[in-house]
Amino acid sequence: MSHAATENRPALLDRLREALPKIVLSPTVAIVAIFVYGFIAFTVYLSFTNSRILPTFDLVGWKNYENLFKIRAWDIAVSNLLVFGILYIVICCALGLLLAILLDQRIRAEGFIRTIYLYPMALSFIVTGIAWKWFLDPGIGLEAVVQGWGFENFKFGWIKDRDMAIYTIVIAAVWQTSGFVMAMFLAGLRGIDSEMMKAAQIDGASTFALYRRIVIPQLRPAFMSAFVVLAHMAIKSYDLVIALTGGGPGTATEVPATFMYSYTFTRNQMGIGAASAVIMLMTIAAIIVPYLWSELREKKQ
Amino acid sequence: MGFLDIKNATKSYGAVKVLHETNISIEEGEFLVLVGPSGCGKSTLLNMIAGLEDITSGEIAIKGRSMNGVKPAERNIAMVFQSYALYPNMTVKGNISFGMEMHGMPKEQREPRIAQVADLLQISHLLDRKPGQLSGGQRQRVAMGRALVREPDVFLFDEPLSNLDAKLRVDMRTEIKKLHQKLGTTIVYVTHDQIEALTLSTRIAVMFGGYVQQLGTPKEIYDDPANMFVAGFMGSPSMNLFPAKIVASANGSAAEVALHGGQTAQIPFANGAMSAHQGREIILGLRPEAITDKDGADRNSQSVHIVECPVEVTEPAGSDTFVVTQIGGKDVTGRFRADVNVKAGETFPFAFNMEKAVVFDPKTEDRIR
Amino acid sequence: MSASSSASTGNGIARFILYTLLALFCVYYLLPLYVMVVNSLKPLSEITSGGMMSLPETLTFAPWQSAWSQAQVGVEATGLRPYFINSIQMVVPAVALSTLLGALNGYVLTKWPFRGSTILFGLLLFGCFIPFQIVLIPMARMLGLMGLAGSVPGLIFVHLVYGIGFSTLYFRNYYAAFPTELVRAAQIDGAGFFTIFWRILLPSSGPIAVVCIIWQFTNIWNDFLFGASFSDFDSQPMTVALNNLVQSSTGVKEYNVHFAGAIMAALPTLLVYIVAGRYFVRGLMAGSVKG
């Protein structure tokens, strides 16, 4: 008996020790399995039920999705997201690239200027929203100020204008993130072999040609990363819209994120809210999954 | 049974076999060098001896005790890594004492051993510094100190000199050899540098493609290579290997070779060698020092043969001049005296010392004896 | 040499335009901050009379006082102070726990990899990018079941759960570059799993820990969605309370108080950015360019 015990105990301990890494990882695995993938499954399931104020489990097929696309507010939300997303990504990339190139010209106080361009990234979207909300408010903000300077006919009331309000969200969002895109491009620029730049200069390339023909094509990975980050931020953007316009005037600046929240929690249409969340997830997955796939594969090589 | 026995050891990753059945046995106090190009399996074998990698099949035993399934810390080995692997957050002293601490040795026993090792390696004045404040050579010494202080059965070195610059590498090489002679410990040493292998070892295992190509003393490996890989890998500049045909000649047999420009020449083998292989196509191997100018030829050799060869390139290297000609479509380098008067483009007498010739089968690349 | 020196000096006019452009962009980025600061220090009347861009004529700290301890947030006139405290109570444990777990995860994933660990990491990483709308409904239920609904511990839990992904990403990428030979040397020296982590890896993890802590701190402090979804009146974080303060439709809009409150909400993350901006940028980059 004692013989068996002494033989078994070290073996058991050894096996425990070997399993230790997996034991340490297991809480995370459990958390991710339940709170990410389990919850996704739960929401997907709900999107096929007639849940209202509380979850129910009566399946109704694709009805929520059919209804969703009949709701005008969802239509508005999707087209707003398209307008906002495209402008946001294009302007951020253009501005970010411009700033990065300007800063890459051996600028004095580069670090200081970079700090100024990037600080909005540290702020909450709520703070950004409030600052721009009052700054763009025609009653007290830009319009009133410029009129006060004597330009009586100056008008800038986009934030109160149903057709233009979505662009104010673009303005605020670009302000917040363009510095970050600048930093990504700057890192890309600094990663380019300086001997190649010298070679191009000796070949007689002008500064313009140097950037257009040699440098910018090599920033492809930075563009990819910027696109993925910005697209995913655009789809998730919720706080900024709430703080800046609250989705208004009316429903003029509704986006999928605000739509999902109001249908689920204030309008008690949980099934439809879940369906809209699933569509948001699918959209992001379509962008993120190929990106992660390629990043993780590259690493393996 | 030796001090360290490797019996039929193999290593596979899934379907890929990176180390084929390997058998090596060395005695206590030997200095075994595993040498080969990267990917040959030498580091894998070292890690298997250390217990850092599992052994797929076979057995590794130290002092007759099987090490299969024994944790690295319990094998009584010590290892010096290529990057030195000094713990960056600990002082030199902390680095050296960490292993003893982990084995539960009380502080008052550790102190004298640290002092002794530090004294031996002349790093006493560095004990309170962090690795980041040390030069490459100093780090190297600390890494060795950390290994020495454990007083292990076997020392394992994984390319310990490859991060040093050329000058320091030669100095440290000498130092390691002195240390081995002084302490007489058993060492297994991995390198891709054949000069390190030849200078340090008592025995060399030349590895390639997951196989031990040849196991032998440095002299055996250098003078008597088992195949074309060993012949080409060991020695610098490497052995000349060129095609030839064995033909009958006046007193035995000779190698018939094609010189540059279409002529052929016959170089007789030493005292009747290769007579059994007449008519056979072969690869002839001659080290550069066996191809010389006439006056530089080995006076003790009974079998030096002169052939007029067109000179392609001369490379003065200070103590010698390397002279290149073409035989059988291959560049062949001879080691001539530094002051020899030879120019590219002219034809010059080359002296072939056929006592040193080795012969290989062109297909199997194995030695023909 | 000539090529590089001509590029660096250029001609005077080009340099002048360059610096002017850079300065104009500085103005663009600083303008909202300027607006917030100057208007938080002037009486309401100066703002409503069209003086938003001017410096205060009468300097007053009353808006700050009001925003901190008197303004009406929701039902009670408590100011933002209790919510600021909520945010701190939420952020500190959430950041500490997610960083510690992330460090352990990164250690296992890089130094003790096993079959499928890369796929596991991929699944973990995807969790960083999901739109959190997809988990709002089940999480609300789950917090109810756990008895954490509408409480600060509930928010801590939520932020911990969804913060692990990024923490793990940071430490994994950092430890991937940490020489594995050190771990092997320690194994030969006889150190075990946790000893290696505590004695060898963790003491060298300072920089990445700072990056991770700053990232988590900024994200969790600035979060609005979870705060709005899972808190009660007395457990609201700062961002939610600030939004309530600004959006409340009753009474006169006290813009100066709103700006003061906004600065208060921004100050902690802004301070961190100013003090440790280098690490903040590193975190941003590592979170997007997973190289």
- Is A113's Cβ below 8 Å from some Cβ in C? yes
- Is B52's Cβ below 8 Å from some Cβ in C? yes
Q: Are residues C151 and C184 in the same domain?
A: yes
Residues in chain A closer than 8 A to C114 (CB atoms): 21-22
- Domain interval for residue C41: 10-70
Cis-peptide into C93, omega within 30 deg = no
- DSSP E strand stretches across A84-211: none
Q: State the best of A25, A42, A52, A186 to mutate against chain C, taking most chain C CBs within 10 Å.
A: A25
**d(CA B84, nearest CA chain C) in Å:** 8
Would the pLDDT of B142 be above 90? yes
CA–CA distances in Å: residue A128 to residues A256, B21, B35: 20, 68, 63
CATH number of the domain where residue C269 is located = 1.10.3720.10
- Predicted local distance difference test score (pLDDT) of residue B166: 87
What value does the mean pLDDT take over residues A292-300? Answer: 72
Would the pLDDT of A161 be above 90? no
Chain-chain contact of C189 with B83 (C-beta, under 8 angstroms): no
Residues of chain B with pLDDT > 70: what percent? 100
Q: Assess contact for B33 and B199: CB atoms under 8 A.
A: no
Note the Cα B268 to chain centre separation in Å.
31
- Predicted local distance difference test score (pLDDT) of residue C3: 36
A84 token code pair? 């906002």
Chains that touch A (3 or more CB pairs under 8 A): C
What secondary structure letter does DSSP report for A105?
T
Q: What is the DSSP string of B315-355?
A: EE-SSEEEEEEEETTEEEEEEEETT----TTSEEEEEEEGG
Q: Is residue A149 part of a domain?
A: yes
- Is A144's Cβ below 8 Å from some Cβ in C? yes
Q: Is residue C241 part of a domain?
A: yes
A278 token code pair? 């699933």
A28 token code pair? 């995370």
Pick the CATH number of B240-368 from 2.40.50.140, 2.102.10.10, 3.40.50.1980, 3.40.50.880: 2.40.50.140
List the 168-187 stretch of C: residues with Cβ below 8 A of A.
168
Q: Assess contact for C104 and C196: CB atoms under 8 A.
A: no
Nearest CA in chain B to C182: B85
Instruction: Domain count for chain C, please give it.
Output: 2
- Is A48's Cβ below 8 Å from some Cβ in C? no
> Could you tell me which residues are beta bridge partners of residue B214?
B206
- Asked which of B207-221, B278-292, C9-23, C198-212 is least confident by mean pLDDT, the reply is C9-23
- Predicted local distance difference test score (pLDDT) of residue C291: 34
Would the pLDDT of C2 be above 60? no
Q: Report residue C288's pLDDT band, with 50, 70 and 90 as the boundaries.
A: low
Q: Assess contact for C262 and C242: CB atoms under 8 A.
A: yes
Instruction: Domain count for chain A, please give it.
Output: 1
Q: Is residue C272 part of a domain?
A: yes
Q: State the best of A107, A115, A130 to mutate against chain C, taking most chain C CBs within 10 Å.
A: A130
Chain-chain contact of C133 with A126 (C-beta, under 8 angstroms): no
pLDDT one-digit tens code per residue, A85-129: 999 999 999 999 999 999 988 888 888 998 899 899 889 999 999
Q: Return the amino acid letter for C29.
A: Y
Would the pLDDT of C9 be above 80? no
Q: Are residues C145 and C265 in the same domain?
A: yes
Domain B4-233 sits in CATH at 3.40.50.300
Q: Do the domains B4-233 and B240-368 sit in the same CATH topology, yes or no?
A: no
Chains that touch B (3 or more CB pairs under 8 A): C
- Is C185's Cβ below 8 Å from some Cβ in B? yes
Q: A229, A121, A255, A172: which is closest to C133 by C-alpha? A: A255
Q: Is residue C51 part of a domain?
A: yes
- DSSP element (H, E) containing B303: none
Nearest CA in chain C to A177: C29
Chain-chain contact of C3 with A277 (C-beta, under 8 angstroms): no
Q: Which of C70, C98, C118 is the last residue of a domain?
A: C70
Q: Is residue C4 part of a domain?
A: no
Nearest CA in chain A to C143: A35
Q: Return the amino acid letter for B75.
A: R
Side by side, which strands form the sheet with B65-66? B16-26, B4-13, B57-62, B65-66
A154 or B113, which is more confident: B113
- Is C276's Cβ below 8 Å from some Cβ in A? no
Q: Are residues C176 and C241 in the same domain?
A: yes
Would the pLDDT of C4 be above 50? no
- Is B4's Cβ below 8 Å from some Cβ in C? no
For A55, which of C107, C141, C193 is closest by C-beta distance?
A: C141
Q: Is residue C229 part of a domain?
A: yes
> Could you tell me which residues are beta bridge partners of residue B265?
B257
C188 token code pair? 């030969």
- Is C26's Cβ below 8 Å from some Cβ in B? no
Q: Domain ranges for chain B, please list them.
A: 4-233, 240-368
Q: Report residue B230's pLDDT band, with 50, 70 and 90 as the boundaries.
A: very high
Would the pLDDT of B237 be above 50? yes
Q: Is residue C5 part of a domain?
A: no
List the 68-97 stretch of B: residues with Cβ below 8 A of C.
71-74, 77-79, 81-83, 85-89
Helix-helix angle A72-103:A110-118, to 10 degrees:
170
What secondary structure letter does DSSP report for C112?
S
Q: Assess contact for A190 and A182: CB atoms under 8 A.
A: no
Q: Tokens 């047999």 — which residue? A: B253
- Predicted local distance difference test score (pLDDT) of residue B302: 83
- Predicted local distance difference test score (pLDDT) of residue A14: 77
pLDDT one-digit tens code per residue, B49-61: 999 888 999 999 9
User: Cα separation of A130 and C261, whole Å?
Assistant: 10
Q: Report residue C287's pLDDT band, with 50, 70 and 90 as the boundaries.
A: low
pLDDT one-digit tens code per residue, A11-67: 777 788 788 899 999 999 999 999 999 999 999 998 998 888 887 888 888 888 988
**d(CA A1, nearest CA chain C) in Å:** 30
- Predicted local distance difference test score (pLDDT) of residue B350: 93
First vs last C-alpha separation in chain C = 33
- Is C207's Cβ below 8 Å from some Cβ in B? no
Would the pLDDT of C10 be above 70? no
pLDDT one-digit tens code per residue, C90-119: 999 999 999 999 999 999 999 998 888 888
pLDDT one-digit tens code per residue, C192-229: 899 999 999 999 898 899 989 988 999 999 999 999 99
Q: Assess contact for A99 and A182: CB atoms under 8 A.
A: yes
Q: Are residues C142 and C257 in the same domain?
A: yes
